[in-house]
């Protein structure tokens, strides 16, 4: 027992802890996810986050200690997003044929998502920094953090809102699509994937890729379009908001 305590004391204070615990938990939750036929509620990202958060809290491990090891996984987020280009390439002919309509769908979907979030904050009389942190929730987390910072929000809050939005979409998307009767044929998978990528960015795209290649390709395209479009129109939205509500300025 004393040897175990000494080993734990050593591991919990080194970068190895954050790296090993994250990888081990994700492998275990992924195995359970596959065993349950990829049920949305068994999403490995969700359960890895929950178990890690509870473990760090109960074991009183500082987040800085954990992230000193987990940062190596965080670094791989960039290459993982770039890897989404592969399913796009495989479906390039179909994507190019629909590109004008997809462009408009991405623009409308992103604007509606952000405007509804800001309107809710406005109605609830929330402070500006909270509204601006909430606005880019449907853009992938690194970009959402940058947008929030330029609009007067908090990057940390923006990252949390983005991750929560992605998880909610990955968990509930299947049930919403079934409820509104989106088919599971080629066209239906395209619609499901594009909707997930538009609203739930990388986490939604990862879920789509796991389920069906066509859905994954359209989700990856939606994710990329949201990054580009949101970076262009969100600063304009901030100007309009401050014009309508100067007290937020």
The backbone torsions φ and ψ at residue 127, rounded to the nearest 5 degrees and listed phi first, read -65, 160
Please give the mean pLDDT across all residues of the chain.
Answer: 83
Distance CA 142, CA 235 (A): 17
Q: What is the pLDDT of residues 125-137, one digit of tens each?
A: 888 888 899 999 9
Give the highest mean pLDDT range of 60-69, 164-173, 205-214: 164-173
The backbone torsions φ and ψ at residue 185, rounded to the nearest 5 degrees and listed phi first, read -105, -170
Distance CA 135, CA 116 (A): 8
Pair of tokens at residue 3: 């040897």
- pLDDT for the residue numbered 247: 67
Residue 5 has pLDDT above 60, yes or no: no
Distance CA 14, CA 66 (A): 8
**Exposed (0-12), middle (13-18) or buried (19+): which is 85, by Cβ within 10 Å?**
middle
- pLDDT for the residue numbered 105: 92
Q: What is the pLDDT of residues 183-200, one digit of tens each?
A: 888 788 989 999 999 999
Q: Where are the domains of the chain?
A: 1-75, 77-249
DSSP 209-249: HHH-HHHHHHHHHHHHHHHHHHHHHHHHHHHHHHHH-GGG-
**Exposed (0-12), middle (13-18) or buried (19+): which is 67, by Cβ within 10 Å?**
middle
Q: Which of 70-79, 91-100, 205-214 has the lowest mean pLDDT?
A: 70-79
Distance CA 12, CA 6 (A): 10
Contact at 8 Å (CB) between 91 and 216?
no
Pair of tokens at residue 178: 């079934």
Stretch 234-247: mean pLDDT, rounded? 78
- pLDDT for the residue numbered 198: 92
Model pTM score: 0.79
């Amino acid at each position: 027992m004393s040897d175990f305590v000494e080993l734990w004391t050593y591991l919990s204070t080194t970068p190895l802890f954050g790296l090993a615990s994250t990888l081990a938990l994700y492998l275990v939750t992924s195995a359970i996810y596959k065993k349950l036929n990829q049920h949305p509620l068994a999403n490995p990202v969700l359960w890895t986050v929950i178990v890690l958060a509870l473990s760090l809290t109960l074991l009183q491990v500082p987040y800085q200690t954990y992230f000193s090891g987990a940062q190596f996984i965080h670094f791989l987020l960039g290459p993982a997003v770039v890897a989404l280009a592969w399913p796009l390439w495989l479906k390039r002919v179909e994507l190019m044929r629909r590109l004008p309509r997809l462009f408009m769908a991405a623009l409308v979907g992103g604007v509606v998502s952000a405007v509804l979030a800001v309107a809710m904050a406005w109605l609830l009389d929330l402070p500006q920094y909270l509204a601006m942190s909430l606005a880019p929730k449907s853009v992938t987390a690194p970009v959402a953090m940058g947008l929030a910072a330029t609009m007067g929000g908090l990057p940390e809050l923006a990252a949390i809102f983005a991750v929560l939005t992605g998880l909610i979409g990955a968990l509930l998307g299947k049930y919403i699509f079934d409820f509104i009767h989106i088919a599971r044929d080629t066209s239906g998978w395209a619609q499901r994937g594009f909707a997930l990528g538009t609203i739930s960015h990388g986490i939604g795209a990862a879920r789509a890729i796991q389920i069906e290649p066509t859905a994954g390709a359209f989700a990856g395209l939606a994710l990329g379009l949201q990054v580009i479009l949101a970076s262009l129109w969100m600063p304009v939205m901030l100007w309009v908001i401050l014009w309508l509500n100067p007290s937020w300025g």
